A and B are shown apart, each in its own frame.
Chain A
Amino acid sequence: MKPAAFAYTAASTLEDALRELAAAPEESHVLAGGQSLVLEMNHRAVRPTRLVDINTVPHLGLLQTDDAPDDGARLRVGPLVRHRAFEQPVDEGPLGRLLALAAHCLAHPPIRARGTMLGSLAYAHPTAEWPTLAVTLGAELDLRSVLGHRTLAAEEFLAGPFTTALAPGEMLTEARFPVLPSATGVAFLEHRPTAAGFAVLSVAVALRVADGTVVDARIGLAGAAPRPVRAPAAEGLLTGRPPTDEAITEAAAASAETVADPPADPPAGIPFRQHAVRVLTQRALHRARDDLTERT
């Protein structure tokens, strides 16, 4: 099908884009990569009457690591950073490796050439890769409108399937990921029957180890709940112990207990999802441990 008619504005600056959105907040959509929005418009699943194109705004492709004043370095990602930018590691450490693992799972090269990380966060598909990593790693997101600016944790921002904290007229302007310390092993695994759509489930893992003991365990799950979540019980079982096979098996079983009220689409029952989460978590934890031993 073809999209319904709309008025198109190519924004020249960020302020210009925000003003355009504010002129008719309920009817306007930001056009970023268009790799979700345009297909939904083609199907008339959404019918915005105004599109504000941000592809014409200079300097929105910021991708750089900054030292935060109090706690560690942050990778800053602007609104026009395409998925493709993460295919090769953006830093030499585990964060770059983890983002690259996820980038290669995400859609296909032509879609990755257009789609943006911030667009994916705003779209909030329940098993999209970037929201899952943003929750797992505790990313912070900046939201701006003509009225002002606020910062939310990814966990607060993602409210449910296709639902975020964005108010009409508001735009995501930056995502910030904490840079992972070098003694962190990472893994990202998905269950997907086909490359032509979204994953059914995914598991992201970051295990930080000091003196043979896990000091920080992060396990993020997509497809287990209406939005990406962490598995705190499983993380707790790993922390403070060496990452032995036994600890990994226990944590994987605890991870499966996280499954509750999963997304309806694609259809997959709770017992299947629990089983798949356990298997994927176990594999991902083994891979994260291997990742660590390969580098140290």
Chain B
Amino acid sequence: MRITLTVNGEERRLDVEPRRTLADALREDCGLTGTHLGCEHGACGACTVQVDGTAVRGCLLFAVQCDGSTVRTVEGLAAADGTPHPLQTAFSHEHALQCGFCSPGFLMLTAAALDEDPAVADDPDRLRELLASNLCRCTGYAAIRRAVRRAAGSGGTEPPAG
């Protein structure tokens, strides 16, 4: 089926089988391999991308369902001149990644959440609920939490206990 996606601001005309997931269309048909695939059953969140501004699992959505949509991947996170997104800088400062396999998913998840409501960084319960969406086998999550708080302007410190 012929579909059109706007990926990171660029129009992409694709011819995909209905069974092509959005994550595979991005990786295989658009050559954007920043979006990772871990489990392909919704558990790990490595495939998280934004569709029309909302963070979703790229492995649980067919590309044909996104015809006409705007998709943002980790390749589209930095500014056009290459300046990293505040979250990317904060992930680096706080050592919020080791192997980096989960990082694109965490970045797209948390970028959408901060766009929607930056106050999520100051609410320990909401932040825990958000970060529990994705799996990281390396960092133990504390550094990711600090990075999100730093990017939101709350300082790279732990949220108050709650």
Q: Given the interface contacts A38-B21, A195-B132, does A109 sit within 8 Å of B55 by beta carbon?
A: yes
Tell me whether B41 is interfacial, beta carbon within 8 Å: yes
The residues of A that contact B41 with a CB separation of less than 8 Å are 39, 42-43
Contacts A109-B130, A111-B42 given: A34-B60 contact, CB under 8 Å? yes
B interface residues, how many (CB within 8 angstroms) = 30
Q: Does A142 contact B (CB under 8 A)?
A: no
> Does B158 interact with chain A (Cβ within 8 Å)?
no
A80 CA to B143 CA in the complex, in Å? 37
Checking A5, A109, A197 against B133 with a beta-carbon cut-off of 8 angstroms, the contacting residue is: A109
Of B43, B48, B59, most A-chain CB atoms within 10 Å: B43
- Cβ-based interface call for B1 (8 A): yes
Binds A, one of B6-14, B61-69, B70-78, B89-97: B61-69
Interface residues of A in 244-273 (CB under 8 A from B): none
> A191 at the A/B interface (Cβ < 8 Å)?
no
Quick one: given A1-B40, A2-B19, are A113 and B64 in contact (CB under 8 Å)? no
Chain A residues whose C-beta falls within 8 Å of the C-beta of B57 in the assembled complex: 35, 110-111, 114
Contact of A113 among B1, B19, B55, B129 (CB under 8 A): B55
Q: Which residues in B have some Cβ–Cβ distance to A below 8 Å? A: 1, 17-19, 21, 24, 40-43, 45, 48, 54-57, 59-62, 64-65, 109, 113, 129-130, 132-135
Asked if A39 contacts B129 (CB within 8 A), the reply is no
A8-B18, A51-B18, A110-B48 given as contacts; is B129 within 8 A of A38 (CB)? no
In the complex, A4 has a CB within 8 A of chain B: yes
Q: A8-B1, A196-B43 are in contact. Are A42 and B59 (CB under 8 A)?
A: yes
Interfacial chain A residues near B43, Cβ < 8 Å? 196-197
The reply to whether A110 and B18 contact each other, CB–CB distance below 8 Å, is no
Residues of B within 8 A of A242 (CB): none
Give the shortest distance, in Å, between B2 (CB) and chain A (any CB).
13
Q: Give B1's nearest chain A residue, CB to CB.
A: A8
Contacts of A39 in B (CB 8 A): 40-42, 59-60
B135 and A110 form a contact (CB under 8 A): no
Cross-chain contact of B61 among A5, A6, A38 (Cβ < 8 A): A38
**Whole-angstrom CA separation of A31 from B109 in the bound complex:** 24
C-alpha spacing A38/B41, complex, angstroms: 8
- Contact among A5, A104, A195, A196 with B19 in the assembled complex (CB-CB below 8 Å): A5
Smallest beta-carbon distance B95→chain A, Å: 24
12 pairs of residues in contact across A and B, judged by CB atoms under 8 Å: A3-B21, A4-B19, A5-B18, A8-B62, A8-B64, A10-B64, A38-B59, A43-B40, A104-B129, A108-B133, A109-B113, A110-B45
Whether the pair B56, A108 counts as a contact (CB closer than 8 A) is no
CA distance A286 to B59 in the complex (A): 41
> B129 and A35: CB pair below 8 A?
no
Is the CB of A91 closer than 8 A to any CB of chain B? no
Interface membership of chain A positions 38-66, coded 1 if the CB is closer than 8 angstroms to chain B and 0 otherwise? 11011100000001010100000000000
Q: Mark A1-21, 1 if CB is under 8 A from B, else 0.
A: 111111110100000000000
CB neighbours (8 Å) of A6 from chain B are 18-19
A-side contacts of B42, CB under 8 Å:
35, 38-39, 111
Which residues in B have their C-beta under 8 angstroms from that of A43? 40-41
Interface residues of A in 183-220 (CB under 8 A from B): 195-197
A42 touches B55 (CB 8 A): no
Which of A2, A4, A5 counts the most chain B CB atoms within 10 A?
Answer: A2
Residues of chain A within 8 A (CB-CB) of B60 are 34-35, 38-39, 111, 114
Q: CA of A109 to CA of B120 in the docked complex: distance in angstroms?
A: 12
For A197, list chain B residues within 8 Å (CB). Answer: 43
Closest beta carbon of chain A to B63's beta carbon, Å: 10
Question: Which of A1, A38, A55 lies at the interface centre, i.e. has the most chain B CB atoms within 10 A of its CB?
Answer: A38
Q: Mark A262-290, 1 if CB is under 8 A from B, else 0.
A: 00000000000000000000000000000
Which residues on the B side are within 8 Å of A53 (C-beta)? 65
Q: Do residues A38 and B62 form an inter-chain contact, with CB atoms below 8 A? A: yes
Within 8 A of B (CB), among A65-103: none
